[in-house]
Structure 1
Amino acid sequence: MSASLEERLTELEVRLAFVDDTVHALNETVATHDRLLHDLRSAMERLRGDLVAVRGALTHDARDEPPPPHY
């Protein structure tokens, strides 16, 4: 019975080591994705600002035009 208990304990230790490795790998993946998401959000905000600037430059206000020559 003792050998069986020792084998079971060894099996649990091996499984725990694999779980620890998996959790570590997943944690690195999540951290990488978090950094990527942060970078993408920053880029999107910059693009949004650029779009607002371009829209502002392309907007045509009739009040800015000189009056027609017949006035």
Structure 2
Amino acid sequence: MTTEERLIELEIKLARQDDLVETLNKTVYRQQKKIDELEALCTALARHVKDLRAAANEGSSAHERPPHY
């Protein structure tokens, strides 16, 4: 293998690695974006459940019989 062939082979490998790194970078970016969306959704759902529980507790105490019944 000549020096020129070796140089071409190295350039090809480097180009493939650059492409792979770029692809992985895009994948990580999309995954992080999705994680951020899911965290926001979980936070909103937790807040909604908390509000529903609070509303249920407030509503049930108004309709309960007093303890002397």
Q: Same fold (TM over 0.5)?
A: yes
The higher radius of gyration belongs to: 1
Q: Structure 2: where are the runs of 5+ without partners?
A: none
Counterpart of 1:19 (choices 17, 20, 23) is 17
- Measure how far apart 1:33 and its partner are: 0.5
| 2:53 corresponds to 1:55 | yes
Partners of 2:20 and 2:8 lie apart in 1 by 18
Aligned length: 66
Identity of aligned residues (%): 35
Instruction: For residue 2 of structure 2, give the secondary structure of its aligned residue in structure 1.
Output: helix
- Output aligned runs, 1:1-71, within 5 Å: 4-59=2-57, 60-61=60-61, 64=62, 65=64, 67=66
Aligned alpha-carbon RMSD (Å)? 2.2
Please, what TM-score do these two structures have when normalized by structure 1? 0.80
Q: Structure 1: where are the runs of 5+ without partners?
A: none
Please, what TM-score do these two structures have when normalized by structure 2? 0.82
